[in-house]
Amino acid sequence: MCGIIGYVGSRPALPILVEGLRRLEYRGYDSAGVALIDDNLCVTKAAGRLSVLEQVLDLNAPQTAGIGHTRWATHGAPTDVNAHPHTDSSGKIAVIHNGIIENDRALRTYLEREGVTFKSETDTEVLAQLIGMLYDGDLEQAVRKALREVSGTYGIGVLCSDEPNVIVAARKGSPLIIGVGKGEHLLASDAAAILAHTTQVVYVGDGEIARITPDELRMTTLDAIPVAKDVEQIEWSLEEIELAGYDHFMIKEIFEQPEVLENCLRGRLDLKENAIRLGGLVDCTRELTRAKRIILTGCGTAWHAALVGEYLFEELVRIPTEVEYASEFRYRNPVIDDGTVVIAVSQSGETADTHAALAEAKQRGALTLGAVNVVGSTIARETDAGVYLHVGPEIGVASTKAFTGQVAVLAMIACFLGRRKHLSPSAAADFIAALSAVPKQIKQILDTADEAKKVAQQYTDRENWLYLGRGYNYPVALEGALKLKEISYIHAEGLPAAEMKHGPIALIHEGMPVVVIATAGSQYDKIINNMMQVRSRGGSVIAIATEGDREIAKQADHVLYVPNTLEPLQPLLTVIPLQLIAYHAAVIRGCNVDKPRNLAKSVTVE
Q: Are 538 and 512 in contact (CB under 8 A)?
A: yes
476 contacts ligand AGP (rule: CB under 6 A): no
Q: Are 401 and 354 in contact (CB under 8 A)?
A: no
Distance CA 472, CA 164 (A): 58
Give the nearer residue to ligand AGP in terms of CB position, either 301 or 404.
301
302 contacts ligand AGP (rule: CB under 6 A): yes
- Secondary structure (DSSP) of 519-551: -SSTTHHHHHHHHHHHHTTTPEEEEEEETT--S
Q: Is 601 a catalytic residue?
A: yes
Q: How many residues does the chain have?
A: 606
With CB under 6 A as the rule, give the number of residues binding ligand AGP: 17
Minimum CB separation of residue 284 from ligand AGP in Å reads: 22
* Contact region with ligand AGP (CB under 6 A), list: 131-139, 154-162, 398-406, 544-552: 398-406
Give the nearer residue to ligand AGP in terms of CB position, either 98 or 129.
98
Among 172, 401, 483, 601, which one carries the catalytic annotation?
601
> How buried is residue 273: exposed, middle or buried, by Cβ count under 10 Å (0-12/13-18/19+)?
exposed
98 contacts ligand AGP (rule: CB under 6 A): no
> Helix or strand or coil: residue 109?
helix
Give the nearer residue to ligand AGP in terms of CB position, either 257 or 602.
602
478 contacts ligand AGP (rule: CB under 6 A): no
Minimum CB separation of residue 330 from ligand AGP in Å reads: 14
Among 2, 160, 264, 415, which one carries the catalytic annotation?
2
Give the nearer residue to ligand AGP in terms of CB position, either 185 or 483.
483
User: Residues 351, 530, 555, 570: which binds ligand AGP (CB under 6 A)?
Assistant: 351
530 contacts ligand AGP (rule: CB under 6 A): no
Q: Are 366 and 343 in contact (CB under 8 A)?
A: no
Give the nearer residue to ligand AGP in terms of CB position, either 164 or 298.
298
Minimum CB separation of residue 403 from ligand AGP in Å reads: 8
Determine how many CB atoms are found less than 10 A away from the CB of residue 126: 29
Distance CA 91, CA 57 (A): 19
300 contacts ligand AGP (rule: CB under 6 A): yes
Distance CA 262, CA 49 (A): 37
Minimum CB separation of residue 354 from ligand AGP in Å reads: 5
Minimum CB separation of residue 167 from ligand AGP in Å reads: 27
User: Residues 399, 523, 565, 579: which binds ligand AGP (CB under 6 A)?
Assistant: 399
Edge-first strand order for the sheet with 232-233 is: 41-47, 31-37, 65-71, 3-8, 185-188, 177-180, 200-203, 232-233
Q: Which residues pair with 202 in a beta bridge?
A: 178
Give the nearer residue to ligand AGP in terms of CB position, either 370 or 471.
370
Q: Look at strands 340-346 and 293-298 and give their pairing.
A: parallel
Distance CA 526, CA 468 (A): 12
User: Residues 299, 306, 366, 371: which binds ligand AGP (CB under 6 A)?
Assistant: 299
Per-residue contact track with ligand AGP, 320 to 349, x per CB under 6 A?
--------------------------xxx-
User: Residues 208, 486, 493, 594: which binds ligand AGP (CB under 6 A)?
Assistant: 486
- Our measurement of the distance from residue 402's CA atom to the centroid of its chain's CA atoms, rounded to an integer in Å, reads 9
Which residue is at the shortest CB distance from ligand AGP? 300
- Secondary structure (DSSP) of 56-94: TS-TT---SEEEEEEE--SSS-S-TTTSSPEE-TTS-EE
354 contacts ligand AGP (rule: CB under 6 A): yes
- In the chain, the N- to C-terminal Cα span, in Å, equals 11
Q: Is 92 a catalytic residue?
A: no
The residue ranges of DSSP E strands in 299-360, in sequence order, are 321-325, 340-346
174 contacts ligand AGP (rule: CB under 6 A): no
Give the footprint of ligand AGP on this chain (CB under 6 A): 298-302, 346-348, 351, 354, 397-399, 402, 486, 602-603
Active-site amino acid positions:
2, 601
